[in-house]
Amino acid sequence: MSPKLKKTRVLPGFQLSLGYTIFYLSLLVLIPLSMLFFKTATMGFPDFWEAVSSPRTLAAYRVSFSAAFIAAGINVVFGFLVAWVLARYSFPGKKIIDAFVDFPFALPTAVAGIALTTIYAPNGWVGQYLEKFGIQGAYSFLGIVIALTFIGLPFIVRTVQPVLEDLDPEIEEAAACLGANQLQSFMKVIFPILLPPLLTGFTLAFARAIGEYGSVIFIAGNMPMKTEIAPLLIMTKLEQYDIAGATAIASVMLIFSFALLAGTNFLQWLSSKRIGME
């Protein structure tokens, strides 16, 4: 019986690496988030409920979550198309367009907000034409959706594009040989493979949009009960030295984000399991 070969690892010292990982994550993630809940716990339940369920807070939740959901949904469709073109076709200027996809990552959010407001204002390049049809771009709910769509596009493209590039063309050729047309090949072969990365990109774009602040406050108008987002309401309470009220609102948003991530991971697990069974 031959002796077992000793497993080699690229990073030796499992205990040290694991300890450093836990310490690093605790310092940057777990401790700050736990302090958020500890500060909220200093409030009594009546004060907590009043802070998180007041009409102004509920309106801010509604604006933030609905705008983030719509923007992420738009990015799923158009981000997928961008990823498909970049992964499947070669054309002049492809590398430039590919670089522009990451532009929202590099651009400061305040600069993005000012630029979008300038473009979609009633006298802006695009806003002046929307105004003729009675559509208000800047200082409206539509403006919030535009800003969140802008900052969320890279999350969809960068999660779907690598999967498309690694997809073996022989899979589609096999489907065609079995008599499937292009639509059937896409729906039965390609789309099930792309569903997990699409869900991941949607979750990332949605989570980023929920907490977005800099690019939205310039274009939103910030009218309470109408275009005020939850992060702005948190900042307002902090400026009023209502620390507990701000952390209460932030805790609700954090719990919702955790629930969204858990639900998305569960759907990805179901999708991967179904694909493996097929």
**Per-residue pLDDT of the chain in tens (278 residues, 90 and over written 9):** 445 545 556 656 677 778 888 888 888 888 888 888 888 888 888 888 988 999 999 999 999 999 999 999 999 999 999 999 998 888 898 889 988 998 888 888 889 889 999 999 888 899 889 888 888 888 899 999 999 999 999 999 999 999 888 887 777 777 777 777 777 777 777 888 888 889 889 988 998 899 888 889 989 888 888 899 999 999 999 888 888 889 999 998 888 888 877 877 777 677 666 655 55
Handedness of CA 259, 30, 154, 268 (dihedral sign): negative
Tell me which residue range forms the domain holding 173: 54-277
Q: Which residue has the tokens 């367009």?
A: 97
The answer to whether residues 76 and 202 touch, using CB atoms and an 8 Å cutoff, is yes
Residue 88 lies in a domain: yes
Which stretches within 26-108 are classed as H helix? 31-41, 45-53, 55-88, 94-101, 103-106
How far are the Cα atoms of 83, 95, 157, 194, 209 from residue 101, in angstroms, in the given order? 10, 10, 8, 19, 17
* pLDDT in the model for residue 153: 92
Domains: count for the chain: 1
The answer to whether residues 230 and 64 touch, using CB atoms and an 8 Å cutoff, is yes
* pLDDT in the model for residue 64: 93
* pLDDT in the model for residue 1: 45
The answer to whether residues 172 and 190 touch, using CB atoms and an 8 Å cutoff, is yes
Radius of gyration of the chain (CA): 23
Handedness of CA 90, 96, 100, 103 (dihedral sign): positive
The answer to whether residues 209 and 151 touch, using CB atoms and an 8 Å cutoff, is yes
How far are the Cα atoms of 150, 155, 256, 264 from residue 259, in angstroms, in the given order? 25, 19, 5, 9
Residue 209 lies in a domain: yes
pTM of the complete model: 0.84
Name residue 277's amino acid: M
CATH number at residue 236: 1.10.3720.10
* pLDDT in the model for residue 119: 92
* pLDDT in the model for residue 272: 66
Q: How many residues does the chain have?
A: 278
